[in-house]
Structure formats: structure tokens, C-alpha cells
Structure 1
Amino acid sequence: MKIILVVLFLLIMAFFYSYFPLRYYSIVKDNSGSVDPLLIMALIKVESDFREHAVSRAGAIGIMQLMPETAAWISEKLNLVVDINSVVDNIVVGIRYLHYLIDLYDGDLDFALRAYNAGPARVAADNNISKKYLSKIKLYYVIYKVLYFWVR
């Protein structure tokens, strides 16, 4: 019975580790600044499920699901030369944009994450927009923190 429980536990853990990978963690960590890299991993999981060439119905591109106009704007604002089709550049610009939103909303991470998803104008106009999205990020963040408690 103990062996069956151990095997079952290991299978469950293998599922969780495969479903919540640390793909691109070093890039995220190197660019995360004051934001927990595991939170950014949860954001990536929600945004694209780590699909490098994801394109949303709205036209958001890449692993961090950046709108081309937003990526161009934040890149120009920060004097960055990037190709948002590149995974590394997409991650860097996405993280920089998240930092911009956190600063814009005086450190209110929840509001910044909702604005990352819906856009600052839409979140300001409707305080209930993207709350389900925020809940999903928070759930995934907890899962990442539990699975990768030793990673920092």
C-alpha cells in the first residue's frame, strides 16, 4: 500500500512539474528586478502556456502576449531595440512593461496585472475587468511557489 501511495504521489508531482515548467527561468530571473520571478512564470503560464509563437485573437504576440503597439511603445520609451518575435526579447519587454504598470499604479500589483491583460484604459474604466484572470495568476503563482520553493 505504501509503495502505491509513493508511486501515486510521484506521478502527481511529475504531472505538476511538467504542467508548470521553469522554461526560460534564467531569462526571467535576470530581468525580473523587484518582481518575484515565479510570479512572472505564472504570468507566462496564463498568457501563453509557454507557447513561444502564440498569437491571440486580439493580435498579442509571443510568450508574454504583447500587443505589437504596446511593445513598440515601451521599447521606444526605454530605448530598447527588440524583436518581439524573439522569445528573449518578448520576455524582456513583457517584464519591462509589467514594471511600468506597477510604477503607474503606485505598486498595486493586482491592478498592474489586470492592466497587463486588459490594458490600462479598460481596467480604469471597469474595476471588475480581468478579475478572473488575476485569480488564475494568483493560483498559478501559489503552485509555482510550492513546486519550486527552493528556487530563487
Structure 2
Amino acid sequence: MADVRAALDAAAAKQFWPVSAPSIRVPSKLLYAVAWQESGWQSTIVACDGGIGTMQIMPATATWMNTRFESSYDVNTLTGNVMIGGEYLAWLIRYFGDAYYQGSYDLSVPAPEGGVSLLDSVVSAYNYGPGAVDPVKGKAGIPNWRYVNNVEALMTNCPCLA
């Protein structure tokens, strides 16, 4: 658990794009919660759907992230897996912030009445893929509310926060 926490904290401290998106940081509580939901903080787990490690990264996602951002994180190591997960979350924050939230990357802004927040969109897309999430459709644009609600609850009430 200490090693996983250290890896997650390192990813939270990482500025993935200091020049092009310096205001984006992935909050440690979001990383903790996603990792807990995905793997229970198990670093060597491989799921039946192919998800790998603590952040349950799909092999194609790891390849895409490393190619897209010219990184070389190893999805099969704890550090590499968590860094790919952190970078993917940062990318989702930027993608949805730019496309749907007027360039805001603030995950603490609550959802408008009948709508969805940036946090809702990012968490949903982490699990379901960004193409499946459409904030313009309001609550109907989130295909996996159970997952989103679980992760968001874990951000404030998780055994991993102790």
C-alpha cells in the first residue's frame, strides 16, 4: 500500500504538459479513488478484459498514450502504470475542459442543474472511453453513472485515504 500511495502521489505531483497545459494537475484524491475502484490498489492484477495493474490500463491505451506524448512508461510496472493512468486523466481533463467547459480545467465546479460536471465527464470517460461521453446531453450523456458515483464517493470516503 505504501508503494502504491507513493506512486499515486508522484503522478499527482507530475506536471504532464508544463508548456501547453500548465494549469492541469490531477488531484491525488481522484487518482486514489480511480485506483481503488479499478484495482483496490493491487499493482499486479490483470483483469479478464485485459486491464493491467493499479490503474487497469488497457494495452491499447498505454500504447496510444506513450506514442501521443512521446513517453515510455511501462504499463507492467507500478510506476509506469500509475503514470499512464495519471497522464490519461490529465488528457481527459484537458480534452473535456477544452471541448465542453470553455477551457476550464477546474474539477471542483459542480454540475449545472440537469447537467454534468467536468469531473463527471472525466471519471466516466476513464472507464467507458471519451467517445461514449457527451456532456451536451446532460445526465443522459454519461453511460456509467454507477461507476462515476462510486469514484466520486471514494474521493471523500475511501479506505485509501487513511
TM-score, with normalisation over the residues of structure 2?
Answer: 0.70
Equivalent residue number for residue 127 of structure 2? 117
Aligned ranges 1:2-151 → 2 under 5 Å: 23-33=3-13, 34-106=25-97, 107=105, 108-124=118-134, 127-144=141-158, 147-148=161-162
Q: CA deviation at 1:23?
A: 5.0
2-structure distance, mates of 1:131, 1:55: 24
Number of aligned residue pairs: 128
Counterpart amino acid of residue 48 in structure 1: S
Q: Is the 8 A contact 2:121 2:142 kept in 1?
A: no
- What stretches of structure 1 of length at least 5 have no aligned partner? 1-20
Q: Is the 8 A contact 2:26 2:89 kept in 1?
A: no
Residues 21-77 of structure 1 show CA distances to partners (whole Å, capped at 9, x for unaligned) of 665222222221422212211110000111212222321111101111111101111
Q: CA deviation at 1:146?
A: 10
Change (3 A) 1:146 1:79: closer
Q: SS of the residue aligned with 2:142?
A: coil
Counterpart amino acid of residue 62 in structure 2: A
TM-score, with normalisation over the residues of structure 1?
Answer: 0.75
Counterpart amino acid of residue 40 in structure 1: L
Q: CA deviation at 1:109?
A: 2.0
2-structure distance, mates of 1:49, 1:145: 10
Percent of aligned pairs sharing the same letter: 27
2-structure distance, mates of 1:52, 1:24: 7
Which has the greater radius of gyration? Answer: 1
1-structure distance, mates of 2:31, 2:65: 18
Equivalent residue number for residue 11 of structure 1? none
2-structure distance, mates of 1:25, 1:65: 16
User: Between Structure 1 and Structure 2, which shows a larger proportion of helix residues?
Assistant: 1
